[in-house]
Amino acid sequence: MAKITVIPSTKNPITQIANGSNELRRVAAYARVSTNTDEQYSSYEAQVNYYKKFIQERPDWAYVNVYADEGITGTNTRRRVEFNKMISDALAGQIDLIITKSISRFARNTLDTISYVRKLKDKGIEVYFEKENLWTLDPKSELILTIMASIAQEESRSISQNVTWGKRVSFQKGKVSFAYDSFLGYRKENDKLVIDEDEAVIVKIIYRMFLAEGKSIITIAKHLTSQNIKTPTGKSTKWSYKTIQSILTNEKYKGDALLQKRFTDNYLNHSLVKNTGQIPQYYVENNHAAIIDKDMWDLVQIELEKRLAMGSQYSSSDIFASKLICEDCGGFYGKKKWHSNSKYSRFVYQCNRKFDKGKDKCLTPNLMEDDIKLKFIEAYNLTMKDKKRIIQDSTEMIEMLTDTTQLDQDIENLNDELLVISELLNKLIKENSKSGVSQDDYNRKYGELLNRYERMKEKHENLIKSRSGKQSQAINIKAFLSNIKKVDDKLIDWNEHIWLMLVKSAIVHRDKSITFKLNNGNEIRR
């Protein structure tokens, strides 16, 4: 008969410490509060002090540290610096036991909770959840932990949904929130948004340099940096392309507000995604005092699109380079240096594509800068003889362009037609899935409806482009009208500002004449 001998365990099954050992367990605690308010800060300090005292009062424990994250959301662990440091220290063999208030304080993400507990468990490191009285080295803890962590995650999802719902209700009511700490040009005063006159000057400089002076975004950023002007956050004087671009495209500077530009795509990691039509947006007009005139703001958007389309062909360092166009090939003129190593060195303007391989040589001439300026002055003075008529014509043109009543109606009618076709397509697909309809008949009807839909969609898009084009043209002419009312009736000397604000483009002809196309649509050749 077999003899069985029991070999007693030599370690505590819970602590994994040898029986009778005087070895102290190295203990750390983790604390977290969710916001940065003063009230919560006191809670943060209280938790740190509580755990430090709690650990040090145990004779069988050796105090390691209290790891505490302040003002960090609990639904993911990526931005919790102290939490991640604690896990790293534990896995490096510096901690035997981690104490935390509850599962929801440790992590509200079920996957994170189970994952970290198992990683620690594999290394013999235990986590104790006070509220649940749960020790993770206890064999019964795995099932209990999974259930409780799932409940915590569901609570987090519910809270996130409630917060999102609250925000969207607020958006629907037109309530606008502002990031006051990084909103250049404004400040909070008696719970209201007011203009900060000192900062507003910087915003106006940015818009003026971009539009009136033709400077690039990079050039503006370098200028502000060189002047040691603080960025919107107030923490640096190094301006970036992205910061300037954000200021130039922020509708809040004209007093309006577009709500729900971004939304939370995942409640677990709080990832924000750009709203490109997935959920509704809300546009609030005249919400607060404007720093930038609406027409100027709209002109900046048009100019941004224009420069984007031009790409590397746009030059902010040369006021002629992005306006002078070759009649032969449609390419831009550029500044070239002739005889650079001799006393006859000089700059000329020449078609950038004049000597491109694989194309006929452009026969348009080279131009001297003084010649361009002189021709513009002549064209300007000739144009301004009819200043009153130009103002009247421009006013009438604006009225005509801003009347989009018929276009709006046509777009609305096409919207309705597209909706009807979509419903017919859905109905056809459902019928085909339920009955024994001839596939030839189905394919024929489906093709006819789809072709009809595509035709209507193309027509719809063209009408929207047409309306957008009229609106852009009206904005340009408004700006032209505003500028022409301010300028002198006659130019004696070259004026860069007038050139930039009034001239849309200038076509260079073979006979050295130039046709100046003004922003109101008028053309004059000199």
On whether residue 360 sits in a domain, the answer given is no
For 286-319, how does the pLDDT look when each residue is reduced to its tens digit (9 = 90+)?
888 889 888 888 888 888 887 887 777 676 677 8
- Reference 372, options 515, 518, 211; nearest CA is 515
Report pLDDT for 221.
Answer: 93
Phi/psi class of residue 124: alpha, beta or left (left: φ > 0; alpha: ψ in -120 to 50)? left
Q: What is the DSSP letter of 24?
A: P
Provide the pairing of β-strand 97-100 with 126-129. parallel
The answer to whether residues 510 and 379 belong to one domain is yes
Report pLDDT for 220.
Answer: 92
**Confidence bin at 202 (pLDDT 50/70/90):** very high
Report pLDDT for 224.
Answer: 93
Provide the pairing of β-strand 324-326 with 503-508. parallel
> Alpha helices of 130-216 — where are they, by DSSP H?
141-172, 197-211
Q: What is the DSSP letter of 11?
A: B
Q: CA 379 → CA 188, 190, 239, 390, distances in Å?
A: 50, 54, 40, 14
The answer to whether residues 206 and 138 belong to one domain is no
The answer to whether residues 64 and 110 belong to one domain is yes
Question: Among residues 127, 161, 195, which one ends one of the domains?
Answer: 161
Per-residue pLDDT for 335 more than 50?
A: yes
Mean pLDDT, rounded, of the chain:
80
For 111-120, how does the pLDDT look when each residue is reduced to its tens digit (9 = 90+)?
677 778 888 9
On whether residue 250 sits in a domain, the answer given is yes
On whether residue 395 sits in a domain, the answer given is yes
Higher pLDDT, 191 or 523: 523
The answer to whether residues 155 and 207 belong to one domain is no
Domain that holds residue 414: 368-525
Distance of CA 397 to the CA centre of its chain: 35
Total residue count of the chain as it appears in this document: 526
- Reference 116, options 158, 154, 78, 151; nearest CA is 78
Per-residue pLDDT for 110 more than 70?
A: no
The answer to whether residues 113 and 184 belong to one domain is no
For 465-478, how does the pLDDT look when each residue is reduced to its tens digit (9 = 90+)?
888 888 888 888 88
For 378-395, how does the pLDDT look when each residue is reduced to its tens digit (9 = 90+)?
999 998 888 888 888 888
Q: What is the DSSP letter of 305?
A: H
Contact call for residues 366 and 514 (beta carbons, < 8 A): no
Give Cβ neighbours of residue 440 (< 8 Å, ≥ 6 apart).
none
On whether residue 46 sits in a domain, the answer given is yes
The mean pLDDT of 13-28, rounded to a whole number, is 69
Query: Which residue reads 């981690």 in tokens?
Result: 98
| Of 4-8, 391-395, 428-432, the least confident | 4-8
Q: Give dist(CA 518, CA 526) in Å, integer.
A: 13
Per-residue pLDDT for 507 more than 50?
A: yes
| Of 57-71, 166-180, 194-208, the least confident | 166-180
On whether residue 317 sits in a domain, the answer given is no
On whether residue 290 sits in a domain, the answer given is yes
CATH of the domain at 249: 3.90.1750.20
**Confidence bin at 64 (pLDDT 50/70/90):** very high
The answer to whether residues 44 and 113 belong to one domain is yes
**Amino acid found at 194:** V
Contact call for residues 148 and 134 (beta carbons, < 8 A): yes
The answer to whether residues 273 and 397 belong to one domain is no
Our count of domains for the chain comes to: 3
In a 3-state reduction of DSSP, which class is residue 129? Answer: strand
The answer to whether residues 137 and 195 belong to one domain is no
Percent of the chain with pLDDT over 70: 78
**Amino acid found at 304:** L
The answer to whether residues 199 and 153 belong to one domain is no
On whether residue 335 sits in a domain, the answer given is no
In a 3-state reduction of DSSP, which class is residue 315? Answer: coil
Give Cβ neighbours of residue 312 (< 8 Å, ≥ 6 apart).
none
DSSP, residue by residue, 381-400: HHHGGGHHHHHHHHHHHHHH
**Confidence bin at 157 (pLDDT 50/70/90):** low
CATH of the domain at 109: 3.40.50.1390
Rg of the chain, C-alpha, whole Å: 35
Contact call for residues 322 and 313 (beta carbons, < 8 A): yes
Report pLDDT for 500.
Answer: 82
Q: Give dist(CA 454, CA 448) in Å, integer.
A: 10
Report pLDDT for 173.
Answer: 55
The answer to whether residues 498 and 395 belong to one domain is yes
On whether residue 313 sits in a domain, the answer given is no
Query: Which residue reads 């000199």 in tokens?
Result: 526
Please count the CA atoms within 13 angstroms of the CA of 493 that sit on its side-chain side.
0
Report pLDDT for 266.
Answer: 52
The answer to whether residues 199 and 118 belong to one domain is no
Per-residue pLDDT for 75 more than 50?
A: no
**Confidence bin at 37 (pLDDT 50/70/90):** very low
**Confidence bin at 30 (pLDDT 50/70/90):** very high
- Reference 326, options 287, 361, 291, 370; nearest CA is 361
Per-residue pLDDT for 525 more than 50?
A: yes
Q: Give dist(CA 255, CA 294) in Å, integer.
A: 8
Instruction: Tell me the β-bridge partners of 15.
Output: none
Per-residue pLDDT for 513 more than 60?
A: yes
Report pLDDT for 259.
Answer: 73
Q: Give dist(CA 336, CA 319) in Å, integer.
A: 14
**Confidence bin at 90 (pLDDT 50/70/90):** very high
Report pLDDT for 39.
Answer: 47
Report pLDDT for 166.
Answer: 53
Per-residue pLDDT for 263 more than 70?
A: no
Query: Which residue reads 């069988």 in tokens?
Result: 60
Report pLDDT for 357.
Answer: 77
The answer to whether residues 392 and 498 belong to one domain is yes
Report pLDDT for 433.
Answer: 72
Report pLDDT for 5.
Answer: 63
Report pLDDT for 147.
Answer: 73
Phi/psi class of residue 338: alpha, beta or left (left: φ > 0; alpha: ψ in -120 to 50)? beta
Contact call for residues 113 and 150 (beta carbons, < 8 A): no
